[in-house]
Every structure is written in structure tokens, then in C-alpha cells.
Amino acid sequence: MMKVNTDKCVGCSQCIKDCPARDIELVEGKARVKNETCLKCGHCIAICPKNAVTTDEYNMEEVKAYNADEFEIDADRLMNFIKFRRSVRRFKNQNIEKEKLEKIIEAGRFTQTGSNSQSVAYTVVTEGIDKLRNMAFESLKKSAENILGNLTQENEKYKRYAQGWLNMYNAFKADAKNDGLFFNAPTVIVVTANSQVDGALASSNMELMADALGLGTFFSGFFVFATNGDKEIKDFLGIKDGKEIVTCMVLGYPDVKYFRTVPRKKAEVLWK
């Protein structure tokens, strides 16, 4: 429940103007949250100049007052940081500190979600990564055999992937170091959500945080495909009903160094 400390409130109405749910009213010169259509988004907490709004839904100790030195990022440096990002598939044999993994999840946790659902969840796999890798390879092998044995018009588009999955599987079985799925990374984070958009937005912020922490990552679409209809993998990951796997972040310390950004095709933009 959102609460307003009437001793602090000066009735400036900023919270009323900024509330997306129109759930705040002015009563005798003081703001009052009706808590009827409230989304628990926290706009009222953030905008109140007198710090008069609190909630018992979340931990108020996480709230930080704005100051430019800690919150502002130079736009050109941010753009360069984004441009320099690379998908990494060469990793050192080095585990990732738990503190860094927690900070990556924090970046996802504070990402916006539709209707403030905050439905994004995370499964961090470290100790069980070998088991997960084996299950995923078996699933991909099964899918590949089904696709190549039944080349319908729908399956035709997956043909080259299926052949690649079989090659990956055989190479891995010949030598476990030939890991074409996780590339011998020490950790994966599987991001699940009720909404693909919410999960993807969180994953993007998580990737930027991983880069800022000196880690390398890439998103394994092959793994996400491997989980389709595979109850064993989903049970192992503890996927709750109603949630779908959106991304699989493969994480590790990069064993590669890049010296420059790369070009991209021009953006397709319509100005109207």
C-alpha cells in the first residue's frame, strides 16, 4: 500500500499529475493515495519533493535520492559503450564472483515492465551447468533428427540449423571441450517472464551491466529452442507455470580482446 505522510506533504500535486493510474487525489490540501488502481510503480515516491510518500510493498531502504555525480552518464560515452559491445564466445577458465552475478540480476530487476508486473525471473546455473548442457544437446539432437526426417515446408527453414546441431552434438560427444552451445562458459542465466518484451528489456540491461563488470556474454538462441516442449529442462530450471524462457545469457570472463567497434548498416527510419 502507498502511504502519504501528511506532515511532510505540502500539497504540490506533483504526484497527482504524474500518477499513470490516476489513483491519487488532493484532500484538504494533502495528497492521498486511494490504492484502488495503483500499479505500485513508485512514480509518486520518486517525484515527491518532500519525500512524503512511502510503501510497505517494497524495501524503502533501496530508494536513493538523485545526485548528478552518481546518476548522470555522458551520452557520447554511453553510445561508445553500446557500440563497443560484442557477443563473446571465448571464455577463460575462471568462475564469476557471486557479487557480480547479483549485480547483473539487479540490472534486470530494476528494468521497466508492462503495467509494473515485475514478472521477470532468473535461474542462475553454475554447479549444474554440465547437466544442463547435456540435456540441451540431447534435446537439440532430437529436434534435428525430427526436422531432417520430416522436411515439411515449415521445417525447411530449420534444415541448416538441424544439420549444424547434429554436427555440434557429434563434436561434443567426441570431446566435451568442443562445446558449441555454451562454449565452456562457467555460468548461464536463464531469463523467464510472462511477457517476452519484459524479459528482453531486462536481458538487455543485464548484458550492459555484464560488460561494465568486465564480463563477456552472448544470448544462446539454440538453447531457448532446445527448451521448447522439453519438460525435463524446464523442471531442472524451476520454470514456473505461466512463464516462458525468453533468453539464455551465457556468461564468463572473456578470453579475447577487441580493439575497435564494427560498422552496421544504416538504420531504417521514417521521419513524419
Confidence of residue 224 (pLDDT cuts 50, 70, 90): very high
Complete domains list, the chain, with CATH: 2-62 (3.30.70.20), 73-272 (3.40.109.10)
Average pLDDT (237-246) is 93
Count of Cβ atoms closer than 10 Å to residue 197 Cβ: 12
**Alpha carbon distances (Å) from 110 to 21, 62, 189, 209, 216:** 20, 11, 16, 12, 21
Position 193 confidence tier, pLDDT thresholds 50, 70, 90: very high
Q: Which is nearest to 211 in space by CA: 85, 65, 42?
A: 85
CB 226 within 8 A of CB 245: no
Residue 55 has pLDDT above 90, yes or no: yes
Which pLDDT tens digit goes with each residue over 22-50?
A: 999 999 999 999 999 999 999 999 999 99
Mean pLDDT of the chain: 96
Which pLDDT does position 149 carry in this prediction? 86
- Is residue 156 over pLDDT 90? no
Question: What pLDDT score does 157 carry?
Answer: 78
pLDDT confidence of residue 213: 98
Mean pLDDT over 152-179 rounds to 90
Span 247-260, average pLDDT: 98
Q: Closest Cα to residue 228, out of 152, 168, 128, 142?
A: 142
Query: pLDDT at position 152, please?
Result: 77
pLDDT confidence band for 53 (50 / 70 / 90): very high
SS3 string of the chain? CEEECCCCCCCCCHHHHHCCCCCEEEECCEEEECCCCCCCCCHHHHHCCCCCEEECCCCHHHCCCCCHHHHCCCHHHHHHHHHHCCECCCECCCCCCHHHHHHHHHHHHCCCCHHHCCCCEEEEECCCHHHHHHHHHHHHHHHHHHHHCCCCHHHHCCHHHHHHHHHHHHHHHHCCCCCCCCCCCCEEEEEEECCHHHHHHHHHHHHHHHHHCCCEEEECHHHHHHHCCCHHHHHHHCCCCCCEEEEEEEEECECCCCCCCCCCCCCCCCCC
pLDDT of residue 150: 82
Residue 172 has pLDDT above 90, yes or no: yes
For 177-200, what is the mean pLDDT? 97
Is the pLDDT at 194 greater than 80, yes or no?
Answer: yes
pLDDT of residue 154: 72
Inform me whether the pLDDT recorded for 155 exceeds 80: no
Q: Output the pLDDT for position 195.
A: 96
Sign of CA dihedral 190, 193, 195, 201: negative
265's CB contacts (< 8 A; 6+ apart) are none
| Percentage above 90 pLDDT, the chain | 93
pLDDT score of 20: 96
Distance CA 223, CA 180 (A): 11
